[in-house]
Amino acid sequence: MTLPALSPLDAGHLAAATLTPAHSSGVFSATWLLVAIPLFSAAILLLGGRRTNRWGHLLGVAAPVASFVLGVILFFSLIGKPSSSRSFDNHLFSWTFVGNFRADANFQIDALSICFVLLITGVGSLIHIYSIGYMAHDPGRRRFFAYMNLFVAAMLLLVLGDNFVALYIGWEGVGLASYLLIGFWYHKPTARTAATKAFVVNRVGDFGLSVAIMLMFTTFGSFSFADVFGAVGQGDHATVAAIGLLLLLGACAKSAQVPLQSWLGDAMEGPTPVSALIHAATMVTAGVYLIARSNPIFDVSSTARLGVTVVGAVTLVFGAIIGCAKDDIKKALAASTMSQIGYMMLAVGLGPAAYVFGIAHLLTHGFFKAGLFLGAGSVMHGMNDEVDMRRYGGLRKLMPLTFVTFGLGYLAIIGCPPFAGWWTKDAIIDAAFHKGGTSGAILGSAALFAAGLTAFYMTRVMLMTFFGERRWSTEGPDAVHPHESPSVMTGPMIVLAIGSVGGGAFLVLGNRLTDFLGPLLGRPEDADFHPVGAYGLATLGVMVVGVGWAWLMYSRRRVPAVAPAANPLVVAARRDLLGDAFNESVFMRPGQYLTRLLVFFDNRGVDGFVNGFAAFVGGTSSRFRRMQTGFVRSYALSMFGGVVLLVAALLMVRG
Amino acid sequence: MSPTFYLYLSAILFTIGALGVLLRRNAIVAFMCVELMLNATNLALVTFSRINGTLDGQIMAFFVMVVAAAEVVVGLAIIVAVFRTRRSASVDDANLLKY
């Protein structure tokens, strides 16, 4: 491999970015099976129809578990190779050739892909198992598992493709699965609307991603990661910046980042396992994957990188503020997801200094947020699908397992040492401050502030759900009989809770993840973790303040059964900080006016001309019609006149 | 006598017939005027035959007579039928087939 002359500072990183994948042999040639197994299972369940109802869920669980086992085998094989050659491609077939256009069905497995593979299949398997219990009484359970398997296959394709076209197909596939699953209970109008909304908002991002891919092709003549990233240094600076910003647009929609965040809250209309897998642990992190994977592009363009940090910083505060005001437990968690992904975006926007921290937070978040969602699902399961936290309270004793697992996830997300979130979130806040300058101070402060808000809103969720007096009754029309969920549901919650406790320490201690991802994403200059730096103490401080504030508001005082009147900020936060209102006034209304204008032009202009011409012809002919008087003598006269004319003409011609 | 005079007579008869068709309302009269025009034509044909010294015109005149005979049969039948239903032989009364 020859490299262009590079400054010593860049050399290590860029060399890593253009790491050429070796052709796969042995176990790595089975990479494609990771995608094929769940895809095949989805096909069987969808095509098999009602015949597969009886055992469909078992097949649906077996597929991601099989992929997970294969993923673990691949992971250990990858670990066994030297770190400089941990990249293997798996060529299946050439999909299409047209002139210079060449798209291959190629898989590539490397350190970054395998992290995602293990997250998707591992957490995915747990959530599939949980779904057996959660969806036990749903008539559409087989269809549910088919869509979930479809999602797992598409998501694996997204992270395993070795070119942007394969990534795009996976990207669209997860979008489709997300649409199908949000609208799973399609008899509810709200679910239908939410599914359409998610799909439409994602279309905006997909537009950005597709234009970015086209731009790459016209600029670099290839779609493959290796070619594009190898040539990106020689590309025109403005073009590369445009590609980076368009990729960011795609990432914004998929990862629910401002300004395309509005769909995530409504996406909670889907069944809770869907929220846990797709809208918390995996699909919404695809944007972070895209940015991290395209790191050579963002290394070249500081403009694009600045865009990523701004989006991340704005979203992490935005989501945290919304989370503080939501009474719907799933929507509060959705806002929290938005905010946590904001942290990841901020991290991958900070460059090689924090790529690894972003991925680390993504992995730990996958555990604790999936655990929290499954906990929320377990609470809903016991509370007749009630989602309003103002009707919960005092569930601690009745659902001890749910309480403990949810509590461990809670401790992880607020960043309480030594739980998972503390290791990874602190690192991001630390890296933001270490960026230096005014921008570093602003980004760091935003992240620090949102950490306090995170502690506040998660404590609020915790207190309103599990503590305080009972705001429900076992009698009357709204009677509920809270009970612990079956072990098929609590089992996965326990496993995820273990991940929430130990995941962070496992990844960060001894620089495990940094060493693993370093050759691909670059090593942070300051890789070693400092648990008690100045910023670490500040983070702990705001966390304690957040928890204390929430305790004062929701434990010392009674929680009213209906949301009380509040200041304008809270009212706005209850309405998703006016995200929908903004979209409606800026895009929907002008769009409606534009369509009305076009309809007017069509009716009056285009139709007017056509109809006018028809009326003209009709009017003229109705006048001509009057010549048919019915008087035979007038016909005879015209015949006579005609004959005279003919004869005259004949005579003149013969003249 | 020059044959040209026959042509003049033929033209005069034809004109009278044509004007009769156009101006008279009575169906029988109009019908007779049509016959007059046909006969004017026959006269012209026979005259042309005489002028050219061939028999073509005369043969044509026979054809016209045969057609006229057939036409008279049909035409009179129609007129009688119209008169029976409408109690009128005026051509202007049968004006329903119009715009």
Tell the burial category of A23 from Cβ atoms under 10 Å away from its Cβ (0-12, 13-18, 19+). Answer: exposed
Reported as type and span, the H/E element at residue A113 is helix A111-134
pLDDT value at A379 more than 80: yes
Give me the amino acid identity at A26: G
**Residue A80 burial (CB count, 10 A):** 9
State the nearest Cα–Cα gap between B31 and chain A, in angstroms: 12
Token pair belonging to B43: 């006269």
pLDDT value at A576 more than 80: yes
| pLDDT at position A471 | 87
Give residue-wise pLDDT tens across range A75-93: 999 988 888 788 888 888 8
Report the residue from A630, A633, A637 with minimal CB separation from B97. A630
Report the residue from B22, B92, B99 with minimal CB separation from A640. B22
**Residue A381 burial (CB count, 10 A):** 22
- Return mean pLDDT, chain A: 89
| pLDDT at position A212 | 95
Check if A637 contacts B (Cβ < 8 Å): yes
Token pair belonging to A571: 């009212």
Token pair belonging to A54: 């009886």
| pLDDT at position A527 | 54
DSSP-derived letter for residue A511 is G
A640/B18 CB distance under 8 A: yes
| pLDDT at position A532 | 64
| pLDDT at position A565 | 84
Work out the pLDDT band at A530, boundaries 50, 70, 90.
low
Reported as type and span, the H/E element at residue B18 is helix B4-23
* Contact between residue A472 and residue A478 where contact means Cβ atoms under 8 Å apart: yes
- A628 CB neighbours in chain B (<8 A) are 98-99
Work out the pLDDT band at A14, boundaries 50, 70, 90.
very low
A626/B22 CB distance under 8 A: no
Coil vs helix vs strand at A2: coil
B91/A640 CB distance under 8 A: no
- B99 CB neighbours in chain A (<8 A) are 625-626, 628-630
Work out the pLDDT band at B97, boundaries 50, 70, 90.
confident
Report the residue from A629, A636, A637 with minimal CB separation from B95. A629
- B16 CB neighbours in chain A (<8 A) are none
* Contact between residue A390 and residue A468 where contact means Cβ atoms under 8 Å apart: no
| pLDDT at position A16 | 43
A631/B99 CB distance under 8 A: no
Report the residue from A628, A633, A640 with minimal CB separation from B98. A628
Tell me what the mean pLDDT of segment B76-95 comes to. Answer: 89
- A625 CB neighbours in chain B (<8 A) are 99
Give me the amino acid identity at A333: L
Reported as type and span, the H/E element at residue A125 is helix A111-134
Give residue-wise pLDDT tens across range A431-446: 899 888 899 999 999 9
- pTM of the complete model: 0.81
Q: Which residues are CB-contacts of B43 (< 8 A; sequence separation ≥ 6)?
A: B6, B9, B10, B13
| pLDDT at position A9 | 38
pLDDT value at A6 more than 50: no
Tell me what the mean pLDDT of segment A377-392 comes to. Answer: 90
Task: Give the C-alpha separation, A295 to A305, whole Å.
Answer: 9
Check if A82 contacts B (Cβ < 8 Å): no
Chain A: residue whose CA lies nearest to B93: A631
**Residue A366 burial (CB count, 10 A):** 28
Give residue-wise pLDDT tens across range A151-204: 999 999 999 998 999 999 999 999 999 999 999 999 999 999 999 999 999 999
- B98 CB neighbours in chain A (<8 A) are 628-630
Dump the DSSP string for A151-179.
Answer: HHHHHHHHHHBSBHHHHHHHHHHHHHHHH
Work out the pLDDT band at A142, boundaries 50, 70, 90.
very high
pLDDT value at B25 more than 60: yes
A with B: how many residue pairs have Cβ under 8 Å apart? 31
Task: Give the C-alpha separation, A295 to A322, whole Å.
Answer: 30
A626/B99 CB distance under 8 A: yes
Work out the pLDDT band at A451, boundaries 50, 70, 90.
very high
* Contact between residue A504 and residue A365 where contact means Cβ atoms under 8 Å apart: no
Report the residue from B23, B91, B99 with minimal CB separation from A628. B99
pLDDT value at B72 more than 60: yes
Coil vs helix vs strand at A341: helix
Tell me what the mean pLDDT of segment A390-416 comes to. Answer: 92
Half-sphere exposure (CA, 13 Å, Cβ side) for A85?
9
The answer, yes or no, to whether ipTM is higher than 0.90 is no
Work out the pLDDT band at A531, boundaries 50, 70, 90.
low
The alpha carbon of A412 is separated from its chain's Cα centroid by a whole number of angstroms, namely 22
**Residue A501 burial (CB count, 10 A):** 20
Chain B: residue whose CA lies nearest to A640: B18
Q: Region of A161 please: left (phi>0), alpha (psi -120 to 50) or beta.
A: beta
DSSP-derived letter for residue A232 is G
Q: Which residues in chain A (596-625) have CB-CB distances under 8 A to chain B?
A: 625
Chain B: residue whose CA lies nearest to A622: B99
| pLDDT at position A529 | 58
Tell me what the mean pLDDT of segment A456-474 comes to. Answer: 91
| pLDDT at position A528 | 59
pLDDT value at A447 more than 60: yes
Report the residue from B22, B25, B94 with minimal CB separation from A637. B22
Coil vs helix vs strand at A142: helix
pLDDT value at A5 more than 50: no
- Candidates B16, B22, B24, B41: best to mutate against A (most CBs of A within 10 A) is B22
State the nearest Cα–Cα gap between B93 and chain A, in angstroms: 8
Task: Give the C-alpha separation, A286 to A345, whole Å.
Answer: 11
Cis upstream peptide for A259 (omega within 30°): yes
B99/A632 CB distance under 8 A: no
| pLDDT at position A114 | 94
B22/A633 CB distance under 8 A: yes
Maximum CA extent, chain B: 53
A629/B99 CB distance under 8 A: yes
State the nearest Cα–Cα gap between B90 and chain A, in angstroms: 10
Task: Give the C-alpha separation, A264 to A373, whole Å.
Answer: 14
